[in-house]
Chains A and B, each alone.
Chain A
Amino acid sequence: MTVHEEYADDLALYALGSLEAAEKALLEKHLDECAACRHEVEHLRGDMALLSLSAAGPMPPQRARQRLMDAIKREPRRQAAPTRTVWWAIAGWVAAAAIGLVVLMLWRDKSVLVQEALHLRAVSSQQGEELQEARKIVETLRSPGAQVVNVTKTNARPQPQGKAFYVRDRSSLIFLASNMPALPAQKAYELWLIPKQGSPIPAGVFKPNPRGNAMVINPPLPAGVEAKAFAITIEPESGSSVPTMPIEMMGAGE
């Protein structure tokens, strides 16, 4: 870009602000169309700034600093000085604010959804882990190849034994039995939940394996029954609704 030579001298006077009104108007018309000359004006102002340094030396008195600082304390700062308040400028701000609000709302919604998704994922992950653990326990208990060892006092004769794990709130029951005597033909053991009040409740029919071990896992039970004890009777294979005497084994809760 080259400065138009015919305007060169006037550009300097224009930068200095000493061009007469008519010449100034003429030059400004040219400046509107000529980037090179506009650029030259900026450089000429730079040259003026350098010329200012020839006056450098005197320093302002301390009171001038204090005066400025006092004025600043009194006057709040503006971020931008609106030059013209026209309706489309206001409309622009309103639109910008509305867009900003929508973006904020969407952002907040997204943020909430992300939080919920993360929470669900955490819950799901925890439940998955718990389920995995439960499956592992059940599979271990149910596995035909599981090695089941009853640990008793040495030299003691193994006794039939059962252990019930009952959680009333969940109506959940796991019963493990060991050293159970073999059953007569077409007979089975039946587990009974003896409530604090009322009749015994059937809690599963089972037959021990040849080694005398057996288990009952989560038989159907009424909700929230408080157990006083558990008992085992010998019943027909299909089970009974009322225990048949005698009671083979019985244990009260801790």
Chain B
Amino acid sequence: MAQLYDRYSGIVYSVALRVLGDTGAAEDVLQEVFMQLWRNPGVFDSSRGNLGPWLAVIARNRAIDGLRKRRPETDIADVVVSVEPDLASETERGRAMHKVRSVLGSMPARQRSALEMAYFEGLSHSEIASKTGEPLGTVKTRIRGGLMMLRKAFQT
């Protein structure tokens, strides 16, 4: 567990901190995510994805739940994350981080904003629409389009 912590605590903590904006609350999410893995290693199915990306998504979802003060809606064992880089080594994480930032930098500002509001703030598309004054359909398409841009960048 110490080894896993040393490898993945950075990504878990940083995504929780970005969502919550509070170091103490981010530490709580970090603790909760790793304790769940410790209590029940079976929640992560290694045949259906890599641990690094899975932890990142689980941490984000928990942080959003905390932010919106809601109970977790999905059992983490049901969360399957399919993505190519396993983010296991520091080099790989560094390379992937650089690429992600590059894609976000090249994204139209409104699209990037919609994507970040959905992901890091946990806003629904209607909340984003009312915040930005854009049509619901446009917000939906922008969010999906932003995720597709990221996917394509890692497919080439």
Contacts and interface: CB of A to CB of B under 8 A. Distances in A.
B40 interface: yes
Contacts of B141: 9
A46 B83 CA distance: 4
Given A12-B140, A60-B10, A48 B57 contact: yes
Nearest to A15: B147
Contact of A60 (B26, B53, B144): B26
A49 B154 contact: no
Nearest to A38: B80
Contact of B123 (A18, A43, A59): A18
Contacts of B96: 50, 53
A7 to B, nearest CB: 11
A60 B96 CA distance: 20
B31 A64 contact: yes
A24 to B, nearest CB: 9
A48 B84 CA distance: 12
Contact of B17 (A50, A55, A79): A55
Contacts of A60: 9-10, 13, 26-27, 30
A69 interface: yes
Interface in A59-116: 59-61, 64-65, 67-69, 71-72, 75, 77-81
A229 interface: no
Contact of B115 (A43, A51, A72): A51
A67 to B, nearest CB: 6
Interface size classification for chain B: 35 or more
Contacts of B140: 9-10, 12-13
Contacts of B87: 49, 53
Q: Which of B38, B115, B143, B147 has most A Cβ within 10 Å?
A: B147
* Majority-rule SS of B interface residues: helix
Nearest to A43: B82
Interface string B113-156: 00100111011111100000000010011011001101100100
A65 B60 contact: no
Contacts of B154: 50
Contacts of A68: 1, 5, 30-31, 34-35
A49 B56 contact: yes
B119 A16 contact: yes
B154 to A, nearest CB: 7
B1 to A, nearest CB: 6
Contacts of A79: 40-42
Given A9-B137, A18-B123, 18 more contacts: A9-B144, A13-B143, A13-B144, A17-B64, A17-B73, A17-B74, A39-B82, A49-B83, A50-B154, A51-B150, A53-B87, A53-B93, A54-B97, A56-B14, A64-B13, A64-B31, A68-B35, A75-B35
